[in-house]
Each structure stands twice: as structure tokens, then as C-alpha cells.
Amino acid sequence: MASQFKELKASDIEDIAAGTTFRSKVSYNRGAEKSEKELKQSREKHISEQPLTFSNFFQKIQWINTTLILLIPLFCTVFIPYVPLQRKTLIWGTVWYFCTGFGITAGYHRLWSHRAYSARYPLRLLLLFWGSGAGEGSIKWWSNGHRTHHRYTDTDKDPYNAKRGFWFSHMGWMVFVQNPKLKGRTDISDLLTDPMVISQHKYYFYWLAVSAYLFPMAVAGYFWGDWKGGLLYAGVFRLFFIHQATFCVNSLAHWIGDQPFDDRRTPRDHTLTALATFGEGNHNFHHEFPSDYRNALKWYQYDPTKQLIWIMSKFGLAYNLQRFSQNVIEQGMVQQKQKKLDRWRARLNWGVPIDQLPVIEFDDFKEKSKDRDLVVISGIVHDVTDFVENHPGGRILIKSAIGKDSTAVFNGGVYRHSNAAHNLLATMRIAVVRGGCEVEVWKTAHRERTDVDLVESDGKKIHRAGQQPSAVRGHFGAPGA
């Protein structure tokens, strides 16, 4: 080896060095190109976030979903003139429509997504078959998305975020490709250990083909010979309508109706939505109490899914029906009503808060009464200058109270004023008096009241009818209204 190194010439060494340098440059350039490519890919927006153009239109569409939801029904409208709708097929299609709808609401939704009740094997298998016929994915996929929706409602992690628009939440999230990095994650460990759920997920397209198309076609064909009608009307078109109905839970239920439990998020309660979705219309209630097997509290509210589960429980097929306590439910209703009342109250003029009024001496009050028509009631100075001419009891009566402590007079000594009078008086207060015989008595009485020390959500005291600061207890024998 030593002799070999001795035989190397200077030119040979230069060639070797040059070759090493060349390979290093090639390696460096390749690494730079790779890093630049990775950087470009990281900077490139996901297809869902890119503007819609003619060139990327086909990349933006989820073609499997779109074909099932829109293209197949649209294509099959061509056959309507050639396949007359028979009465028996219409009835059968309607029956199967409700069965597959219940497969989603009672099965996919309330049983597997929320575990609102437990079901015996026969009922679980039946709901699995019905739900497969609705063509909305496997139980595992559907429940995962729905739990994510509840966990991240109205955020970018919500797979059908209502704040992205009505049509997105209705169907757009299924028709267009979504960025998987944005979708939130949730726990479905219970579903992953359910053999029935795993089996259906693995062979879902077989379940779909049989339950959505072949079974309704076979029933119509075998019993009254309408094979084509069974496939077209009880299969394809029924599937289209069941999609639109259940999609309303994601869209319509977040857009129209009332919010009797919480208005911080979009879910709402509405009868129209309930009629369209097999009883899933009280969505505000559902988002507050998701594991309750009921979606409607009142007997007259439309919720056939609740009735189905209850009936199944009487046959022993459903059990462990979950119900939130009436106390917790009514607490939510009271709190939401109070929030609405607070907003309403905030829009009204209740007068300057007493703790924000300046404090003056009684002698100062008497002195200022020479220039303005001031009257003290319950230790509070009121400027009634602009009200004297409009006083229902006449000008003379109110003028007689100017510059005086008229607490007793106002509260029944001459006339026991109405609740409206106290509210009107509150808008005229300008100061609080320190000192004065009658004043201190009434101020002490007010401090002893514990039933008025309730506050709004913004910390202001709430004064109900007859509990205004100007109103005092006791009756002085005068007439009132």
C-alpha cells in the first residue's frame, strides 16, 4: 500500500481532490433542491384553501360522495318517464325512508355517537342495517365526525362548521375536499372495540349496496313485480331525500329557531327542523344535553326517534335510557331567560345608578331647590322641574313637595304611587342626601332589604316591581293605583 501511494503524482492527487469536490457539490445541490422542494410544498396551500379555478375544479371535488349524493339521483331522473311510480312502491319507499332515517337518528346518532341508551344485539343489528341504507358512511366514520362536531362546534375544527355558511354545513363539507389537518380529533375508543361497528366499517360498501339499493328493489320486485320502481324510487330517490333530511341537522338546525338553553353557539330549536329530521329539531337542547336520549321534552313536541327508543325499551330491546335531571334542564332555561332579560333591561333607561350619584348635604339640597324643582324621596334627590306641568295629580300637589323630604308623602302619605311612577322618578335622580331625619330612616330600611341585592350579569342591581330605591314598605292609608 505504501508503494502505491509513493507512485501517485501531484496531478493524480489534484484529480482525486477535484472528483471529491465535484461529488460534494452534486450532493449539496441535490440537498438544496430537496430542501427547496419541501419548503415550496409547505408553503403551498391545501387544495381546499386555494381559489376555485377551471384547472383545479376536479381536484376540489370529493367524487365518491358527489356521485352518491348528487350525480346518481340526477342521472336517474332520465328514467322517470319510463318507470311509472306505483302506489305500492310509493308506500314501500316511504316506509323504508323512515326506517333508514331512524337508522341514523336512533342508531348512528343517539346510540353510537352519544351512547344515550344501550341496545340488545337484535336492535343494534337492525339499526346498523337501517343506517347503512341511509348511505351516510359507516358508524365509525359518522360517529367520529359527529363527536368532533360537538367538541369543536362552530370552529374550524368542526367538520360541518355552520359559521362557514348554510350550504357548506348542509352539503358542501361532503362535496368538496377538506383539509384533514384542520379537522379536530376526538375519542372513539369505545367504537374501536365494538366488533359490529368494526365489521360494518370494513365491509361498508357491501352493506350500502344491499341496504340502500338491492333490498328495497327486492321487496318491490318480489311482492308486486316492480323491480325497476323499487330500485329507482325506493332506492335511488329515497336515498337522495334521506340525505337532504338528515343534512338539515347540520344546516337548518343551526340557522332557524330559538335558543332557550344557550345562545353562545349556533344550534337552535325549531318545529320545522324536527319535522324534517325525524325529531332532531330541538338542537339547542341537544347540544346542551347530548347524552339525553330525548330531543324533545314536551309530549307535543315532534320526536318520533324518542318514541321509538322508548317503545323498544318496553320490549326489552333498549335499556339504560339516559335523561338529564329536570333541575339541571330548568337551570339552563332560567339562566338563558335571565340573560335575555339582562339584554332587554340594558337597553332601557333606569336612571343614574345610586352609587354613582354625588353626595350632598341636606342644607345644600334646600338651597338648590330655590333654582330648580328638587324633591327628596328615600334619601335621593330628584329634579322634577320638567315634570311639574305633566304631573297626573296636578301642579299644586307636586309643588308642595319641592325642597322637602317627601318619602312618606310619595309612598302613601298622600298617594301610594304606582310601579311606573317609581320607574319614572328614577330617571330624574341627580344626587344623594346625607343627613335628615326621615331620610336616614328610609336609607336604613333599604339596607335591611335582602331581596333586592340581586345583580345582573354585568353586576348591576336588579330591582323588581315594587323594589325600587324610592319604594318603601308599609302603607300610610292613602289611595293607590
For 275, list phi and psi in degrees, rounded to 5. -65, -35
Q: In a 3-state reduction of DSSP, which class is residue 480?
A: strand
> How far is Cα 268 from Cα 351, in angstroms, rounded to an integer?
35
pLDDT tens digits, residue range 5-31? 445 455 554 554 455 444 555 455 555
pLDDT tens digits, residue range 394-415? 788 788 888 888 888 788 766 7
CA-angle at 391, arms to 439 and 432, nearest 5°: 25
List the one residue out of 372, 370, 351, 355 whose CA is nearest residue 429: 351
Per-residue DSSP letter, 13 = H
Contact residues for 162 (Cβ-Cβ < 8 A; gap 6+): 154, 169, 250, 251, 254, 255, 266
The whole-number average pLDDT for the span 100-128 is 98
pLDDT tens digits, residue range 360-395? 999 889 889 888 989 998 889 999 988 888 888 778
Q: What is the pLDDT of residue 434?
A: 84
Place of cell 318491490: 220
Binning pLDDT at 50, 70 and 90, where does residue 480 land? very low
- Angle at which helices 195-202 and 121-132 pack, to 10 degrees? 20
**Of 42 and 80, which is predicted with more confidence?**
80
**Of 24 and 292, which is predicted with more confidence?**
292
pLDDT at 239 over 50: yes
CA-angle at 246, arms to 245 and 247, nearest 5°: 95
**Of 17 and 168, which is predicted with more confidence?**
168
Other CB atoms closer than 10 Å to residue 337's CB: what's the count?
12
Domains of the chain: 63-337 (no CATH), 354-462 (3.10.120.10)
Give the distance from CA 82 to its chain's centroid. 45
Of the ranges 190-199, 218-227, 422-431, which one carries the lowest mean pLDDT score?
422-431
pLDDT at 478 over 80: no
All three cell numbers of 136: 351516510
